[in-house]
Amino acid sequence: MNKEILKEIGLTENESKVYLALLELGPSLAGQISRKTGLHRRTVYDTTERLIEKGLIGYILKNNRRVFESSSPKRFLEVIKEKENSINEILPELLSSYTKTREKQETNFYNGKEGIKTVLEDQIETGKEILILGASSLAYEVLQFYFKWFDKRRKEKKIKARIIFSKNIKKINIPFAEIRYLPEKYSSPLAINIYSDKVAIILWSKESPIAIVIKNKEISEGYRKYFELVWKNAGR
């Protein structure tokens, strides 16, 4: 068990064997370590060199022969701290690269009602105009009571919305929003929400609604242009 834990914190199989053997044996020659671990003497020498470099064992010369001894197990805490300090040094650079990559493109999948709410909350947090193409009446069935609260917050933050419904839905009053309609034959449970540099494709299913959110400036601009084209031809 101890050996597995030592491997998890960065020691090799042989390093773990040698270190644990020295804990049990106390100060030992390479031959003694070899017999205890079953490792070839040459392997023992190579392994002890690496452990010495890590500060996990030391040695003294006795009759021109190296007698190895383990360092205190507390040394492992120091090793972990040293690794943490090394990571902290390069972390800003790593985060910068990560952020740049995330800004370029990101695709996330959301399932269920709570997942859809996460997508809608993101639209509020973004604070930009929301364009909805193919808004479905199913949305109000899937998330009963939620949209009243959603629209209230959207109005408070002065986030405008332009929404294109199909004509099969009855006229509804949505605050701080402009609504237009397409012929009923174009109705679908699929809606496309465009906001900032994101596009949310939402399938309003009563059983299991799902959403795919794509963060990509070029894709969002493409959908935005398509929305504007449809908007011009949609009825009031």
| Residue burial 124-153, b: 16+ Cβ < 10 Å; e: rest | eeeeeebbbbbbbebbbebbeeebeebbee
| Answer CATH for 2-75 from 1.10.3210.10, 3.30.420.10, 1.10.10.10, 3.40.190.10 | 1.10.10.10
Range list for CATH 1.10.10.10 in the chain: 2-75
Give tens-digit pLDDT for 159-214.
Answer: 999 999 977 666 678 899 999 998 888 888 999 999 999 999 999 998 899 999 99
What is the pLDDT confidence band of residue 133, given thresholds at 50, 70 and 90? very high
Q: Which pTM value belongs to this model?
A: 0.57
Q: What is the pLDDT of residue 86?
A: 87
Q: Which residue has the higher pLDDT, 131 or 3?
A: 131
Cβ-Cβ contacts under 8 Å for 200 (sequence gap 6 or more):
119, 122, 123, 192, 193, 194, 211, 212, 213, 214
Flag the least confident range among 40-44, 165-169, 174-178, 221-225: 165-169
Q: Which CATH class is domain 106-233?
A: alpha beta
Residue 166 C-beta-side C-alpha neighbours within 13 Å: 14
Range list for CATH 3.30.870.10 in the chain: 106-233
Proportion of the chain above pLDDT 90, given as a percent: 61
Q: In the sheet that 130-135 helps form, which strands lie side by side, from edge to edge?
A: 106-111, 210-215, 198-203, 190-195, 130-135, 161-166, 177-182
What is the DSSP secondary structure assignment for residue 184, as one 8-state letter?
A: G
Give tens-digit pLDDT for 67-114.
Answer: 999 998 988 888 888 888 888 889 888 888 777 666 566 889 999 999
What is the pLDDT confidence band of residue 5, given thresholds at 50, 70 and 90? confident
Residue 168 C-beta-side C-alpha neighbours within 13 Å: 11
